[in-house]
Amino acid sequence: MSANLPTISDTSALRGDASSHGFRAREYFAALVRHETDVWNLVEKRMRGEGVLSLARLEVLRIVEAAPMGARVQDVATGAGTSIAAASRLLDRLATDGLLERASDPVDRRSVRSTLSPQGRDAFATADERFERALDAVLSNADAAAVADGIAALERLQSTLGARR
């Protein structure tokens, strides 16, 4: 992250300036990325252990597990917020590691659907349980009202982004 971005406590430069919207946007972005990165790293650190999936792999398996007919590459790319090429490589690695089974889509033979293999279901269950414990531990001292307000604010902001796509 650039050292030029204002911090949350640097509000003096943000008040009354005609270009304050740009500074607020940068401040918002910096705070959001910092928070997401900090929470992600703390949760992943607590999840570590023999045979436990990384948080990134868990998130991909979560997308696959949630797709009743199996996930297409496009489903994973959209769910993970990544490119189709990156999602395809992720799915290939997970299949090579025995965590996914891949088969042609019965409706569209050009498409491939991925489902969790038995090994993938076991790995997903173990990692998801560790994730829940790790997230609870990381956020155990968080103010519940602040978390709820933050979720509501992010949902409102997300809806404005959706309108611009």
Work out the mean pLDDT of the chain and round it to a whole number. Answer: 85
Average pLDDT over residues 18-34: 79
Task: State pLDDT tens for residues 99-140.
Answer: 999 999 888 888 899 999 999 999 999 999 999 999 999 999
pLDDT score for 32: 92
Integer Cα distance of 151 and 112 in angstroms: 34
The radius of gyration of the chain's CA atoms, rounded to the nearest angstrom, is 20
| pLDDT confidence of residue 21 | 63
Sign of CA dihedral 1, 36, 146, 43: negative
Nearest-angstrom CA–CA distance, 124 and 107: 27
Confidence at residue 11, expressed as pLDDT on a 0 to 100 scale? 43
Residue 46 · residue 79 · CB < 8 Å: no
**Whole-angstrom distance, CA of residue 4 vs CA of residue 99:** 43
pTM for this one?
A: 0.74
* Per-residue pLDDT tens digits for 52-83: 788 999 999 999 999 989 999 999 999 999 99
| Structure tokens, 120 | 């993938």
pLDDT of the residue at 43: 94
Average pLDDT over residues 28-43: 93
Q: How far apart are CA 14 and CA 6, in angstroms?
A: 9
